[in-house]
Amino acid sequence: MADNASYFDKSEQSLASMSLLAEASPIQITELEKKCRWQEYAADEIVVDINDETTDVYFVVKGKLRAMDFLSEEEEEVALAELLPGYSFGELSAIDLKVRSARVTTLEPTLLASLPSKDFRKLLIDCPGISLALLKTFAGFIRTLNTRITELSTMSPHQRIYHELLRISEPDTQSDGAWIILNAPHHAELAAWVGAEKQTVAEAIGALARDGVIERKHKSLRINDRARLQRLASQ
C-alpha cells in the first residue's frame, strides 16, 4: 500500500488456515509466520506480473485476487483462476527459479504473506505431506486448464459466455425451478474469464434478457429458462 493505512489487524497475520500447510505442525507454522513478509494491498493492485523475476511464494490470508494471462498479440486478458483466503500462488517460480508465468491482481483489499523461495523449498523437503499436497494442487490446476483450453479453442465467444453463466449459477431457493447468479460479475470480469471482449458479453447478456432467458434482480442474475441456456451453450 502506498500510505500508512491498514485494512487488517496484526492478529489476522496467521497461516493456520492455509490449505497447502494442512500437514504442517503448529511449530512449523509458527516458524513460517516468522519468516514471512506480511503485505497489504488495496483493490486493483498488481502483486506479481508476467516475467517478474521474484520467486517468493504468497499465501492469501484475507481478500481475493485473480491470476490472468493474455492472448498472444492481442493483449486481451484471460482469467486463469480466482485466489481466495487459504490459497497460495507463486510456487512454480519458487521451485524452478524462473520468471513468473501469470499476472496476479487484487480484486479487493488483500492481506498476503510472502515466503522466500529458499524457505519454501526447505519446507517441501522437511514435510513430504506438503509436497504431496502441492502435487495434488498442480494436478487440479492442470486439469482445470485443460478444460479451459478446450473451451477457448472449440467454443464461440457466445457459447463460452453461456457456459460460464451456467457454471456460476445455483438453484434459486426462493422460486420454483429458476436458477440464480448471486452478485453477478461485471461484464469486464466475465469477459476476462471467458476470453471475450466486454462488448460481446454485453450483447450476449442483453439478448438473453430480451428473450426472457435471464433477468437482472438488483446485483443478481436470475435464469428463468436454464434448459434453453444449456441448448445455446451446446449449439
Give the per-residue pLDDT at 2: 44
- Cα–Cα distance between 86 and 65 in angstroms, integer? 12
Q: Phi then psi for 50, rounded to 5 degrees? A: -55, 135
Give the per-residue pLDDT at 1: 55
Q: Is residue 119 part of a domain?
A: yes
Domain end (from 153, 177, 202)? 153
The residue with cell 490449505 is 19
What is the domain range of residue 23?
10-153
- Cα–Cα distance between 86 and 234 in angstroms, integer? 35
For residues 229 and 124, membership in a common domain is answered with no
Crossing angle of the two packed helices 26-35 and 117-126, in degrees rounded to 10: 170
Asked whether the predicted pLDDT for residue 8 surpasses 70, the reply is: yes
Kindly give the residue spans of alpha helices, DSSP state H, lying in 67-186: 91-96, 117-126, 128-154, 157-168
CB count in 10 Å sphere of residue 3: 6
Summarised one tens digit per residue, pLDDT across range 207-220 is 999 999 999 988 89
What percent of the chain shows pLDDT beyond 70? 95
Q: Is residue 176 part of a domain?
A: yes
Q: Return the CATH number at 138.
A: 2.60.120.10
Q: Is residue 5 part of a domain?
A: no
- Span 19-30, mean pLDDT? 94
Summarised one tens digit per residue, pLDDT across range 101-148 is 999 999 999 999 999 999 999 999 999 999 999 999 999 888 887 877
Q: Is residue 38 part of a domain?
A: yes
Asked if residue 222 lies in contact with residue 187, where contact means CB atoms within 8 angstroms, the answer is no
- Cα–Cα distance between 103 and 181 in angstroms, integer? 27
For residues 163 and 115, membership in a common domain is answered with no
Summarised one tens digit per residue, pLDDT across range 138-191 is 998 888 878 777 877 888 999 999 999 999 999 988 877 789 999 899 998 899
Domain end (from 108, 134, 153)? 153
Q: Is residue 4 part of a domain?
A: no
For residues 110 and 215, membership in a common domain is answered with no
- Cα–Cα distance between 19 and 39 in angstroms, integer? 19
Q: Is residue 79 part of a domain?
A: yes
